[in-house]
């Protein structure tokens, strides 16, 4: 029966291919537009090529280590996971690079022409992520019949995602901060102005960071949640239905893809339509379809109803978390308005206020994840199913509709890019306004998506911790065990350490970028005045962003993996369990804080730009720009990498658990 998984996965990839060719066939605009698009594509391709080449060494070393120390099968499986993740990101980015200019071109005809291009461009990413992910899992499961082997696949995908997020995140913020601080603040020229030497790098950044990076991130959560549920199903499950419990996650994931395919198909927007509403309609419809499809499957396959309930609790809590997140970041809600208002007393108060609301915003989603876990656990137990398996199915439920979620999310940077191209190509005001409306809709749907992504990652890593416990046959991780406690104290400090290394990477690199932009404005005659025929040296800025990102890419990720192994080999299985618990806690704290505070500062600035408190150019606006700049690496570099980081740490722990159980310092000391 689980054959539905590879079939729907394949269908997803095929539909993605059709949408790709649909996007490709659209008109790519004026020569100037094509020229800009080509420059962005060139920059993005160059970055990705150099990034993957750098990572090839890491993949080689890691797969050798896995083969040597763990199991020879791990090496090909690991490489396969890395390749699938990279490929999904690459595909998604290629179509985004086509869709941006075509969306801009279609915006000349109206929003109902432009919207489908941007959305379907995003959908290619979404469908290829879930398609490649579930296909890969199915292939390995089909070949080995052993869910544990898929851990290696998941690890490959996650490690790749971590690098993609960190590298892309550093790239995009280097360019963005540089372009904003010198262009907007110092020179007073508008965003996306072609005179700005960093404008192409900034557009490249949207693609390598927001599209490729984000796709890799959700690829990794998606695969990890399925793998964790499969392992727990195999280890903890009695025969509850005519199919074995490790296959239920595959079936439900397959149905999630079917729901997403339909969801993608029904998203439409009319001539006067509201793209934000259309995206939300697509998301909610997909949720409902998933719920119905899985209920039917539960009935037909005589699956324990507890599993269905647990799965749907996950989905429901994802929606709730998304909505509360929306409250804290939305432009028309008190947190953003008060932060905007506080900008009147300067940048410092703006930052303190936004940071404070970011701290408050932790409460609802953390409570939500906690309550969802408890309900999923006890409902499952009530129906005679392992509670930990129930939690893992809640994670699968939350991530089941990820194809649709990514489609809506990738739509954002595509329309952002489209707007950039429209402005650089000097298209008319009302075209830019159409592009603006598309872009704004992207921001609305993004908030819900982000809450979803973090909630899903939270439940996923909790089920990965359960997987680790089950695989190590550990009695549990008692806080009063000093090794667990000490492990936890170290664990909570790793996500902050990682964030800091990545953000310092951004600030170091932004420094170089700013110096270069200032130099160009100083040394290229006529650039600032926009004299005919004078062009800045875009390539130099693209190069600075690329080189810097690649340099800062590896250290943070490698350090985190090494500390994980060190804690294991020093403290043993239980210390490592506490360590994972701690890293989940502080990973969630900082992921939520950084995403929400960052989003809030951004919208507080936009609120002022819309005319409040003196509007653009006022002192309040200048203060809000500083807050927004602080928020940039928070929300687009450090914050979103943390989901992936804790997944990677959990997978490293599970994979090396056997080795650690045998060789560790505590055994040597006889403790």
Q: Does 363 bind its own copies (CB under 8 A)?
A: yes
> Which residues, in sequence order, are CB contacts of 363 under 8 Å at separation 6+?
none
Residues near 128 by beta carbon (within 8 Å), at least 6 away in sequence = 12, 13, 16, 87, 88, 91, 92, 215
- Residues in contact with its own copies, counted by CB under 8 A, come to a total of 80
57-65, 276-284, 404-412, 492-500 -> range binding its own copies (CB under 8 A) = 492-500
Residue of the chain from 297, 391, 418, 620 that contacts its own copies (CB under 8 A):
391
Distance CA 422, CA 435 (A): 8
Which of residues 117, 278, 404, 483 is near its own copies by CB under 8 A?
A: 483
CA distances for 660 relative to 476, 483, 564, 568, 667, angstroms: 16, 14, 11, 6, 10
Cα 462 from Cα 663, distance rounded (Å):
25
Does residue 374 touch its own copies according to CB under 8 A?
yes
**CA separation for the pair 467, 451 (Å, rounded):** 24
DSSP 8-state symbol, 179: I
Interface with its own copies, residue 489, by CB under 8 A: yes
Compare residues 81 and 582 and give the one whose CB is closer to its own copies: 582
Is residue 212 involved in binding its own copies (CB under 8 A)? Answer: no
Judged by beta carbon, residue 297 or residue 466, the one nearer its own copies is: 466
> Alpha-carbon distance 117 to 103, whole Å?
6
In the region spanning residues 589 to 648, those forming contacts with its own copies, defined by CB under 8 A, are: 589, 593, 626-627, 629-630, 633
Cβ atoms of 169 and 658 within 8 Å: the answer is: no
User: Is residue 667 within the footprint of its own copies (CB under 8 A)?
Assistant: no
377 binds its own copies (CB under 8 A): yes
| Residue 359 near its own copies by CB under 8 A | yes
The set of residues, in sequence order, having a beta carbon less than 8 Å from that of 262 and lying 6+ positions away, is: 285, 286, 289
**Are the CB atoms for 477 and 491 separated by under 8 Å?**
no
Within 157-196, which residues bind its own copies (CB under 8 A)? 177, 181, 185
- DSSP for 90-150 reads HHHHHHHHHHHHHHHHHTTT-HHHHHHHHHHHHHHHHHHHHHHHHHHHHHHHHHH--HHHH
In 3D, which of 96, 131, 132, 87 has the Cα closest to residue 117?
96
Q: Does 366 bind its own copies (CB under 8 A)?
A: yes
CB 391 within 8 A of CB 373: yes
Site track 273-312 with its own copies (rule: CB under 8 A), x = hit: ----------------------------------------
Shortest spacing between CB 341 and its own copies, in angstroms: 9
Contacting range for its own copies; rule: CB under 8 A; set: 293-301, 496-504, 542-550, 640-648: 496-504
Residues 117-146 that bind its own copies (CB under 8 A): none
Region near its own copies per CB under 8 A, out of 203-211, 276-284, 494-502, 604-612: 494-502
The whole-angstrom distance between residue 11's C-alpha and the CA centroid of its chain comes to 23
Residue 97 or 486: the one with the smaller Cβ distance to its own copies is 486
The pattern of x and - marking residues 50 through 89 that bind its own copies according to CB under 8 A reads ----------------------------------------
Regarding 487 and contact with its own copies (CB under 8 A), the answer is: yes
CB of 480 to its own copies, least distance (A): 5
Should residue 367 be labelled a site residue for its own copies when binding is judged by CB under 8 A? yes
The 10 Å Cβ neighbour count of residue 378 is 14
Residues 448-467 within binding reach of its own copies (CB under 8 A): 462, 465-466
When binding is defined by CB under 8 A, the residue of 170, 347, 648, 653 that contacts its own copies is 347
* Site stretch for its own copies (CB under 8 A), options 69-77, 97-105, 197-205, 362-370: 362-370
The span of 87-95, 293-301, 347-355, 444-452 binding its own copies (CB under 8 A) equals 347-355
| Cβ-proximal residues to 581 (8 Å cutoff; 6+ apart), any chain | 465, 477, 484, 487, 488, 491
Among 64, 68, 300, 478, binds its own copies (CB under 8 A): 478
Burial label for 193, CB within 10 Å (0-12, 13-18, 19+), is: middle
List the one residue from 402, 514, 542, 576 that touches its own copies (CB under 8 A): 514
Binding residue for its own copies, selected from 346, 555, 614, 658, defined by CB under 8 A: 346
- The stretch near its own copies (CB under 8 A) out of 135-143, 159-167, 298-306, 480-488 is 480-488
Q: Which stretch binds its own copies (CB under 8 A): 34-42, 363-371, 395-403, 656-664?
A: 363-371
Using the rule CB under 8 A, give the single segment among 240-248, 274-282, 584-592, 652-660 that binds its own copies.
584-592
Neighbours of 253 (CB within 10 A): 30
Asked whether position 527 contacts its own copies by CB under 8 A, the answer is no
Segment interacting with its own copies (CB under 8 A) among 62-70, 107-115, 341-349, 397-405: 341-349
Distance in angstroms (rounded) separating the CA atoms of residues 76 and 144: 13
Please report whether residue 482 would count as binding its own copies according to CB under 8 A: yes
| Cα 135 to chain centroid, rounded | 20
Question: At a CB cut-off of 8 Å and minimum separation 6, what does 220 contact?
Answer: 85, 154, 157, 158, 160, 161, 162, 644, 647, 648
What would the two tokens of residue 19 be?
Answer: 């949408």
Residues 217 and 645: their CA atoms lie apart, in Å, by 10
Q: How far apart are CA 340 and CA 342, in angstroms?
A: 5
Q: Is 400 in the site for its own copies (CB under 8 A)?
A: no
Nearer Cβ to its own copies, position 137 or 593? 593
- Please give the biggest Cα pair distance in the chain: 78
Number of other CB atoms surrounding residue 68 within 10 Å: 11
Residue from the set 78, 293, 452, 477 that interacts with its own copies by CB under 8 A:
477
Q: Is 388 in the site for its own copies (CB under 8 A)?
A: yes
Instruction: Provide the minimum distance between the beta carbon of 482 and its own copies in the complex, in angstroms, as a whole number.
Output: 4
Tokens 């915006």 — which residue? Answer: 107
CA 317 to chain centre: 19
Minimum CB separation of residue 363 from its own copies in Å reads 5
307 or 593: CB nearest its own copies? 593
Q: Which one of residues 7, 10, 362, 524 is an interface residue with its own copies (CB under 8 A)? A: 362
Distances (CA, A) of 361 to 353, 366, 367: 12, 9, 11
Under the binding rule (CB under 8 A), the answer on residue 36 touching its own copies is no
Tell which residue, 351, 280, 288, 352, has the closest CA to residue 316. 288
């Amino acid at each position: 029966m689980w054959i539905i998984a590879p079939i729907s996965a394949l269908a997803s990839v095929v539909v993605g291919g059709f949408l790709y060719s649909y996007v490709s066939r659209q008109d790519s605009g004026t020569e100037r537009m094509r020229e800009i698009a080509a420059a962005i594509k060139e920059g993005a391709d160059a970055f990705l090529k150099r990034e993957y080449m750098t990572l090839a060494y890491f993949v080689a070393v890691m797969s050798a280590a896995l083969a040597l120390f763990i199991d020879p099968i791990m090496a090909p499986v690991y490489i396969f996971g890395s390749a699938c993740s990279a490929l999904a990101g690459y595909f998604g980015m290629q179509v985004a690079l086509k869709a941006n200019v075509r969306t801009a071109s279609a915006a000349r005809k109206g929003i109902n022409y432009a919207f489908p291009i941007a959305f379907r461009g995003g959908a290619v990413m979404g469908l290829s992520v879930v398609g490649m992910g579930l296909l890969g899992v199915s292939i390995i499961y089909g070949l080995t019949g052993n869910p544990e082997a898929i851990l290696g696949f998941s690890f490959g995908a996650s490690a790749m995602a971590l690098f993609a997020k960190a590298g892309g995140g550093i790239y995009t913020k280097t360019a963005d901060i540089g372009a904003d601080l010198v262009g907007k603040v110092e020179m007073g020229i508008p965003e996306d102005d072609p005179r700005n030497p960093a404008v192409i790098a900034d557009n490249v950044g949207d693609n390598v960071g927001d599209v490729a990076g984000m796709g890799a991130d959700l690829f990794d959560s998606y695969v990890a949640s399925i793998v964790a549920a499969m392992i727990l199903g195999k280890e903890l499950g009695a025969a509850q239905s005519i199919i074995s419990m490790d296959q239920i996650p595959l079936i439900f994931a397959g149905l999630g893809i079917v729901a997403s395919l339909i969801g993608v198909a029904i998203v439409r927007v009319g001539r006067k339509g509201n793209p934000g509403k259309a995206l939300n309609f697509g998301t909610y419809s997909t949720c409902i379809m998933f719920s119905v499809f899985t209920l039917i499957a539960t009935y037909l396959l005589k699956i324990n109803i507890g599993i269905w309930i647990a799965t749907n609790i996950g989905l429901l809590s994802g929606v709730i978390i998304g909505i509360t997140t929306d409250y804290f970041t939305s432009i028309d809600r008190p947190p953003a308005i008060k932060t905007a208002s506080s900008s009147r007393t300067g940048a410092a108060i703006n930052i303190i206020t936004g940071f404070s609301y970011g701290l408050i915003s932790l409460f609802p989603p953390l409570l939500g994840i906690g309550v969802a876990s408890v309900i999923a656990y006890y409902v499952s137990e009530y129906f005679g199913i392992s509670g930990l398996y129930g939690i893992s199915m809640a994670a699968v439920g939350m991530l089941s509709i990820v194809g649709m979620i990514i489609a809506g999310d990738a739509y954002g940077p595509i329309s952002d890019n489209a707007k950039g191209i429209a402005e650089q190509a000097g298209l008319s005001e009302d075209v830019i306004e159409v592009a603006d409306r598309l872009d704004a809709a992207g921001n609305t749907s993004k908030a819900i998506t982000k809450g979803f992504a973090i909630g899903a990652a939270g439940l996923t890593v909790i089920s990965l911790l359960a997987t680790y416990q089950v695989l190590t046959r550990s009695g549990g991780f008692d806080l009063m065990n000093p090794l667990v406690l000490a492990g936890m104290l170290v664990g909570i400090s790793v996500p902050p350490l990682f964030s800091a290394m990545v953000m310092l990477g951004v600030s170091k690199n932004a420094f170089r970028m700013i110096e270069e932009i200032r130099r160009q404005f100083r040394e290229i005659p006529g650039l600032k005045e926009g004299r005919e025929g004078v062009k800045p040296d875009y390539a130099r800025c693209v190069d600075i962003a690329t080189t810097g990102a690649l340099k800062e890419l590896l250290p943070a990720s490698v350090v985190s993996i090494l500390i994980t192994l060190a804690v294991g080999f020093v403290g043993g299985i239980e210390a490592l369990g506490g360590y994972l618990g701690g890293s989940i806690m502080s990973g969630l704290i900082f992921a939520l804080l950084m995403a929400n505070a960052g989003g809030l500062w951004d919208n507080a600035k936009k609120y002022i730009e819309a005319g409040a408190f003196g509007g653009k150019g006022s002192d309040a606006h200048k203060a809000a720009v500083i807050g927004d700049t602080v928020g940039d690496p928070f929300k687009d570099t450090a914050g979103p990498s943390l989901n992936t980081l804790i997944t990677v740490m959990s997978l490293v722990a599970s994979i090396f658990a056997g080795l650690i159980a045998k060789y560790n310092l505590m055994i040597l000391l006889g403790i």
